[in-house]
Amino acid sequence: MTSKQPAYLVLNAGSSSLKFSAFRPRPSDGDLETLLSGQISGIGSIARFEAKAADRRPLGEHTWDDKDSACRDTLLQYVLNWINTTLVDDDIVAVGHRVVHGGLSLGQPMRVSPDLLDELDSLVPLAPLHQPHNVAPMRILARNFPDLAQVACFDTAFHSSQPPVARNYGLPQALTDAGVCSYGFHGLSYEYVTSHLLASRPDLAEGRVVICHLGNGSSLCAVKGGRSMDTSMGFSVLNGVPMGTRSGSIDPGVILYLMREKQMGLEELEDLLYRQSGLLGVSGISNDMKVLQESADPAAQKAVELFCFRVAKEVAAMAASMGGLDALVFTAGIGENSPEIRALIAERLDWLGVGVAPDANARKAYDISAADARVPVFVVPTNEEMMIARHTIQVLGHKPGHA
């Protein structure tokens, strides 16, 4: 009888979704292969389960009624049961989790323990819209499967290498000491993209690279010598460039004005800045970049132009943080899939030596640099889930092909 091979489950839990992926280490080289991925969307309303194989073949679908759609225990148990019956040759030996916030002290992935769960709960005020949902599956698994190893991976951890001058605001030191500073996010994406880029271009190992993670949530990161030096998101995921529905950076005086003159309260402001602004707010049409690019409405084009203007402006700021620019990288949904957006941003950065080759850019090549560009430009598909699986194996000390 053939024994089952060890596999690793990765969970990314949000307010209304639960994304999952499963990976298996290859005994030959220890690298990971994707077995399957999927998500439960619509949690709290009409929950829907969808899964696909590594080659994108549909593997399963399921929906729940209103009552069960709000029960995370039921939904997570369904995922676990489905995976166990689907991966007949594999055995899930550990679970890795994406956690948005690790605060100032959690600068590397950690094995989940009762003390860690309590510490993560203490960080909820720093990420109230994300942290509780990230932590919930850990508690469910710890309660129902106490022997199953779990590892928490933090989106803020990659940015712990930043110098204080990049992290601190112009606020009284007492507030900085209390944790009111820039943390940065999308760290797992930046870490994966950095590792991928440096593996293919070792000549950039000590270089100054700006990575543009452009999607419904967008940010940029200045990476020097493989380490984060600066990033556009800060204390929260609101800072930086305009996003799908988030405002990006605005003058803090706007908030004071809205409170004083428009009598807007905390919940109203939160809804405005997180859900009604960005591409959706500027265009009044959609938060989807593809929809805006296909629209002839001037408001849609205004939103696209603002996005590209702010991203280019942020690239220049990131380059200034490092004292130069040796490479530019696009990743995430918009960054990977929109040649037009990449071209518009590059056009604004011509003075920095950035340029893209139209043919290479159109076919989404890895290297899309123009022949005469001083700064090479790359498109690197991100894979946060694989990064989490790698960290999980490393933290637990597992060897390729063994639990």
Query: Which amino acid is located at 291 in the chain?
Result: V
Q: Which residues contact 123 (CB under 8 A, 6 or more apart)?
A: 101, 102, 103, 131
CATH number for the domain running over 203-384: 3.30.420.40
Q: Residues in the chain, how many?
A: 403
Which residue ranges of the chain lie beneath pLDDT 70? Answer: 1-2, 30, 399-403
Which superfamily does 5-154 belong to? ATPase, nucleotide binding domain (3.30.420.40)
Model confidence over 226-278: pLDDT tens digits? 999 999 999 999 999 999 999 999 999 999 999 999 999 999 999 999 999 99
Residues 367, 378 contacting (CB under 8 angstroms): yes
- pLDDT at residue number 2: 53
Where are the CATH 3.30.420.40 domain residues in the chain?
A: 5-154, 203-384
Distance, CA of 204 to CA of 226 (rounded, Å):
9
Element (DSSP H or E) covering residue 189: helix 187-200
Residues 8, 95 contacting (CB under 8 angstroms): yes
Active site residue 91: no
Q: Given 90, 155, 230, 326, which residue is catalytic?
A: 155
- pLDDT at residue number 400: 55
Model confidence over 290-344: pLDDT tens digits? 999 999 999 999 999 999 999 999 999 999 999 999 999 999 999 999 999 999 9
The answer, as to whether pTM is greater than 0.85, is yes
